[in-house]
């Protein structure tokens, strides 16, 4: 089943957690995006949904007293446990985002950097576990650009539909920039051909500018 950008990330990442982590590390948030995310988060307890191998979870954990890292992939969570074994703030949860195993109003903030999930069900669950006055920050695809052009089955209609669901639930959406930088062309071809489904011969550079949707909400 094709999802999100137009490829099945789940299958790729299930087979290779190392590949997922390399790709996650390659995503470089602009200073403006980092500042915007920090401005929307209030400290206390963070829930990171679709945390993957926890590269960003580990980074943002310094701003919080406690962090829940949720993902539906056991291999990615196991990779994260070993990678960040010294970070005692992170508590790992193997679960679907559409059924979060936490109490009502139990977290102060929620972060989602990409991720594939049933939008409406997940948003309702996030609102349920979020404390009054708490915030949700989500980063997702926004438009066809330097990066998403690589995806043979990229669907702007699908992306617009997802973003409109967030708007209907009261989220504000603004475009922001994420740079995707690999070490060289060889690494870019290896990683992106598997993730995007594009032919390696068509991947002729290792730095990309990706316009993302920064979605934020306060309860």
Number of domains in the chain: 1
Task: Examine the pLDDT at 4 and tell me if it is beyond 80.
Answer: no
Predicted pLDDT of residue 34 = 93
**Which band of pLDDT confidence, cut at 50, 70 and 90, is reported for residue 197?**
confident
Tell me whether residue 2 is in a domain. no
Tell me whether residue 29 is in a domain. yes
Task: Tell me the sheet residues that pair with 48.
Answer: 69, 111
Q: What is the CATH number of the domain that holds 130?
A: 3.40.50.150
Alpha-helix residue ranges (DSSP H) falling in 48-184: 55-60, 74-83, 119-129, 156-168
Tell me whether residue 212 is in a domain. yes
**Which band of pLDDT confidence, cut at 50, 70 and 90, is reported for residue 10?**
low
Convert the pLDDT of each residue in 30-55 to its tens digit. 999 999 999 998 899 999 999 999 99
**Residue among 117, 114, 217, 112 nearest 169 (CA):** 217
CA–CA dist 83, 69 (Å, integer): 13
Task: Examine the pLDDT at 1 and tell me if it is beyond 50.
Answer: no
Task: Examine the pLDDT at 189 and tell me if it is beyond 60.
Answer: yes
Rounded average pLDDT over 204-212: 95
Convert the pLDDT of each residue in 107-139 to its tens digit. 999 999 988 889 999 999 999 999 999 999 999
**Residue among 119, 173, 150, 146 nearest 6 (CA):** 150
Domain range spanning residue 89? 9-218
**Which band of pLDDT confidence, cut at 50, 70 and 90, is reported for residue 9?**
low
CA–CA dist 5, 85 (Å, integer): 32
Tell me whether residue 86 is in a domain. yes
Rounded average pLDDT over 134-153: 93
- The DSSP code sequence of 2-41 is -BTTTB-HHHHHHH-HHHHHHHHHHEEE-HHHHHHHHHH-
Predicted pLDDT of residue 152 = 83
Task: Examine the pLDDT at 12 and tell me if it is beyond 80.
Answer: no
Task: Examine the pLDDT at 2 and tell me if it is beyond 60.
Answer: no
Tell me whether residue 144 is in a domain. yes
CA–CA dist 126, 120 (Å, integer): 10
Predicted pLDDT of residue 154 = 87
Tell me whether residue 41 is in a domain. yes
Convert the pLDDT of each residue in 86-102 to its tens digit. 999 999 999 999 999 99
Predicted pLDDT of residue 195 = 82
Tell me whether residue 125 is in a domain. yes
C-beta atoms surrounding 186 within 10 Å: 11
Predicted pLDDT of residue 5 = 57
Tell me whether residue 4 is in a domain. no
Rounded average pLDDT over 140-166: 92
Convert the pLDDT of each residue in 62-71 to its tens digit. 999 999 999 9
Task: Examine the pLDDT at 6 and tell me if it is beyond 90.
Answer: no
pLDDT cut 70: percent of the chain above it? 94
């Amino acid at each position: 089943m094709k999802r999100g950008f137009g490829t099945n990330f789940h299958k790729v990442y299930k087979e290779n957690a190392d590949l997922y982590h390399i790709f996650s590390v390659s995503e470089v948030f602009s200073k403006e995006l980092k500042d915007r995310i920090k401005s929307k988060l209030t400290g206390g307890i963070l829930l990171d949904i679709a945390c993957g191998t926890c590269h960003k979870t580990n980074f943002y954990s310094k701003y919080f007293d406690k962090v829940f890292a949720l993902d539906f992939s056991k291999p990615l969570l196991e990779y994260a446990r070993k990678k960040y074994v010294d970070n005692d703030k992170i508590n790992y949860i193997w679960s679907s985002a559409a059924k979060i195993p936490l109490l009502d109003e139990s977290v102060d903030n929620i972060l989602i950097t990409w991720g594939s999930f049933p939008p409406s069900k997940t948003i309702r669950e996030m609102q349920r576990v979020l404390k009054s006055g708490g915030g949700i920050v989500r980063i997702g695809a926004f438009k066809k650009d330097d990066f998403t052009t690589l995806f043979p089955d990229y669907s702007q209609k699908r992306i617009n539909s997802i973003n409109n669901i967030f708007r209907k639930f009261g989220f504000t959406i603004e475009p922001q920039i994420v740079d995707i930088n690999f070490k060289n062309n060889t690494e870019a071809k290896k990683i992106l051909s598997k993730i995007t489904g594009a032919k390696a011969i068509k991947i002729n550079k290792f730095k990309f500018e990706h316009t993302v949707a920064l979605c934020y909400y306060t309860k």
